[in-house]
Amino acid sequence: MRIHKNAGLRMTAVSLACALIVPICLADEGNPSAQTGAMVYLDYCSSCHGDGLQNTSGGLTFDLRRLRPQDHDRFVNSVLNGKNQMPPWRGVLDQQQIESIWAYIRANVDR
């Protein structure tokens, strides 16, 4: 069997496209804030907290699916000021971006 020299590149491109699409698809289609949050999450959070909120760190990072609606203030404080190994995002993420991440988390956890 002969493998085309660009097959590996094509597979990488397909894998990347799927990785980008899956978290966005998990966002509630009727909630534009959650859709925006999916993109912000992908850019800033997924490398530590997992694609599509699927934390695979084995407990090294907080599993955001554990957050409950009453944890909103705790979430905002942790994002702005950091916590444990998480760096502070104050000055990087604005309040609207933080709220959109929260909307994304809620849209997926509260199903």
Full residue range of the structural domain in which residue 96 is found: 7-109
2 located within any domain: no
Q: Which one, of 66, 91, 69, 70, lies nearest residue 79 by Cα?
A: 91
* 16 band by pLDDT with thresholds 50, 70 and 90: very low
Instruction: Calculate the average pLDDT of the chain.
Output: 82
Dihedrals φ, ψ of 45, to 5°? Answer: -115, -30
21 located within any domain: yes
58 located within any domain: yes
pTM greater than 0.85 = no
* 56 band by pLDDT with thresholds 50, 70 and 90: confident
> What length does the chain have?
111
96 located within any domain: yes
The total number of structural domains that make up the chain:
1
Give the CATH number of the domain where residue 68 resides: 1.10.760.10
26 located within any domain: yes
27 located within any domain: yes
The helix-helix angle for 32-44 and 95-109 (nearest 10°) equals 100
pLDDT at 109 over 80: yes
1 located within any domain: no
